[in-house]
Chain A
Amino acid sequence: MADFDAIVVGSGMSGGMSAKELTERGLKVLVLERGPEIIPERDYTDNLAPWEKPNLDNVAQEEIAEHYPRQYGGVAYAIKESTKHFWVKDSEHPYEEAEGTTYDWLRGYHTAGRSIMWSRQTYRLSDLDFGANAREGHAIDWPIRYADIEPWYNKVETFIGISGSAEGLPHLPDSVFQPAFELTDAEKALKASVESSFPERNVIPARIAHLTDATEEQKSLGRSNCQVRNHCHQGCSFKAYFSSLNATLPAAERTGNLTMVHNAIVESIEYDAVSNRVSGVRVIDAETNEKRTYTAKVIFLNASTIASAMILLQSKSETFPNGLANHSDQVGRNLMDHVSGANATGYLSGFDNKTTFGRRPSGGIYIPRYANLNGQDKPYRRGFGFQGGATSVGNAGGQIPGIGRAFKEAHRLPSAWRIGIGAFGEQLSNPDNRVTLHPSKRDKWGNPLALFNVKYGENEYKMLEEASKDAVAMLEAAGCTQITATPVNLTKPGNRIHEMGSARMGRDRETSVLNGWCQAHDVPNLFITDGSFMTSAACQNPSLTYMAFSARAANYAADLIEQGVI
């Protein structure tokens, strides 16, 4: 008799959705979270005023050097004294890189994982993306198409809440929207110019997981509309932006079917060769080092793309000497992220008598992919979208000339409007880009360290060079002055925090880890629905897709349990 119907490993973006769907189907679910519990009333810091955050909210420089060198190097904008508890200490959670490579593994270990710290941009994939590998003969084909996932996008979006505008773009399908954050006047001017000069390009409001017209279901979970404070990196006491702590975990909890255990670091998944089923999860208590095993009928891995692959690789058996469900030898391979490093800024005149009210969260505009929409018409494959916005320069943090009254007031009064856009491009999968278990180094709980070996390919470099030129051309078309485009400098792999692909789905167990239901080819009661399953990266922010696939897989697994198949 198993302890639970299902175990979900990880409580973040996808784990929360898996837990919600499984518990709402009446299954008894254990969620294992490797980090400590986050209690919003205690741990969110979004209600602190600027004067309640000493030292400009900066983490002491020597503390950064000792404990956060990699995390801070990757996301300095997000790691503050008031938020550092949401990020791991590199001193406690090290990793290794193969010689000649670099990797940013940026993360937090606690309830809800990175869904607390994400930037909340949410975009659907389309058949342009699901069919890309097959059209180009690259890697392997996705085993599903847009029609398979569309109903699950609808279901997830209705639950989580997304602000955005219906645009009718086939390559960026509309979501179930709540009202968008309206563009500023300068952004509207950019939109008019770009869409006039480049008919295949669109400038639209960023689609973000913020409530702007909360539904009754969302209100019933204690969620309310965004208060436009832009304190999102500190948590949100209004539960206005989506996180699993703000939405999916409470929804799971109210079913009465959820059990959560914190500080539970997975050592391995136990496999029964006779039944060809996984039977349980062996964990180490992060505080006491005590080990124990939880059993269940079905296991969902939602530990994140890197961690889920590591758990599989750590779970060796006679049947799977190279790691659980790794007959294909694809576990840990094909590691992808999005790639940035092509940015441009410029100034738009004519809006000096305009300002804004409120602090809009998470970006203003999105320029969806326009490259290679109808065949291969660019010198690179796939494409990129731009994220950005236009704001009055306003408070320049003192980095403008002048002293006295004029200098003081220059920080408050409306002035020039600056537009900035930056590309997020698709990284092509490559089996040589991988994470493996370090052969000798282990963490303080005895688990092997992650060893990264990831490099960008020629396509990423070529694409970003073209993106930089495009960015300048669009700002020129809008009549911007003082246009600046820094030399293209690709972000480190992992820096966009969109890790994908380490247990890709496909049609053939010889070349993929999962089938189209996120179910392991090799082990039918094992599902992986974090970013691991992504067969290609597309260029859209992926969290929404993780959640849609999680909901779909969870309901499929529940069907199989009901049918007595697993």
Chain B
Amino acid sequence: MKTRREFIQGLILSVGGAATLSACGDKAPAVTATAPHNPGRFYTGDEMALVSRVSDLIIPRTETPGALDVNVAGYLDGLMSDWASAETQRAHRAALARLRADLDSAVGVPFERAAQEAAEEALAELDARAFEIDQSMEGYRRFKGWITQAYFATEGGAVQELKWVALPGRWDPSVDITPA
């Protein structure tokens, strides 16, 4: 029987992620969101800054890479450019505009300049509203889905956080885990 901690570390070791775990450490400093204003192929500079900040708050660096480390914003810029239809692009742009307005209003300053704690609080409140109360916030929920899926589709997200293994080679239907 493995503890939850051993289970996680065992899987990380099995896929060669130990070096990254060691480098990050158990108490890696939070990544301070920067505001990269370089526009992408789809996003404007301001949109890129917002996507970067929000993705960092949703999936921060912990013992494993966070959204900024694996460039989720860049991934979504490609997704919008190469996958999304014109209609999806318009809807996403509108959702980002609403998100910016809501978050700016919540923190009282432009969201990118908000202190980490205030930004976390504002986004957490908005997120809760989006999933529990306000059905009109489909645009945010979809955006959050893309952030998450993009993160887990990167090598850092898949291998180090999700413990994705290329070649399991066997099926074990019952692996015990106990809380550490």
Contacts and interface: CB of A to CB of B under 8 A. Distances in A.
Interface stretch (A311-319, A349-357, A421-429, A520-528): A349-357
A185 B174 CA distance: 6
Interface stretch (A18-26, A54-62, A546-554): A54-62
A-B interface, 8 closest residue pairs, ranked by CB to CB distance from nearest: A398-B148, A358-B168, A401-B131, A61-B85, A398-B145, A357-B172, A358-B171, A55-B83
Interface string A371-399: 00000000000000000000000010111
A356 to B, nearest CB: 6
Contacts of A356: 171-175
Interface residues of B, number: 56
Interface of B: 4, 7-8, 57-60, 62, 66, 78-79, 82-86, 88, 120, 123-124, 127-128, 130-132, 141, 144-150, 152-155, 158, 161-164, 166-179
A408 B62 contact: yes
A400 B86 CA distance: 27
A414 B149 contact: no
Interface string A334-376: 0000000000000000000111111110000000000000000
B61 to A, nearest CB: 10
Contacts of A126: none
Interface in A33-61: 49-51, 53-61
A355 B130 CA distance: 30
A142 B60 CA distance: 63
A61 B84 contact: yes
Given A55-B83, A411-B148, A61 B174 contact: no
A56 B58 contact: no
B2 to A, nearest CB: 10
A357 B78 contact: no
A439 interface: no
B42 to A, nearest CB: 12
A50 B148 CA distance: 13
Majority secondary structure, A binding face = loop
Nearest to B62: A405
B169 A358 contact: yes
A333 to B, nearest CB: 40
Contacts of A398: 144-149
Contacts of A403: 57-58, 120, 123-124, 127
Interface residues of A, number: 48
Contacts of A401: 127-128, 130-132
A227 interface: yes
Contact of A49 (B62, B83, B155): B155
Contact of A397 (B124, B148, B169, B178): B148
B131 A400 contact: yes
Given A182-B173, A398-B146, 14 more contacts: A50-B152, A56-B146, A182-B174, A353-B178, A354-B176, A354-B177, A355-B177, A360-B171, A398-B144, A398-B149, A401-B127, A403-B57, A404-B58, A405-B62
A361 B60 CA distance: 32
A51 B148 CA distance: 14
Given A184-B173, A229-B168, A414-B177, A404 B162 contact: no
A442 B18 CA distance: 61
B170 A358 contact: yes
A198 interface: no
A413 interface: yes
Interface in A405-458: 405, 407-409, 411-414
Interface string A57-95: 111111001000000000000000000000000000000
B175 A355 contact: yes
B168 A62 contact: no
A183 interface: yes
A219 to B, nearest CB: 17
Contact of B145 (A187, A353, A397): A397
B178 A53 contact: no
A123 interface: no
A353 B174 CA distance: 10
A184 B171 CA distance: 10
B175 A357 contact: yes
8 contacts: A49-B155, A50-B155, A183-B173, A354-B177, A398-B147, A401-B128, A403-B57, A403-B124
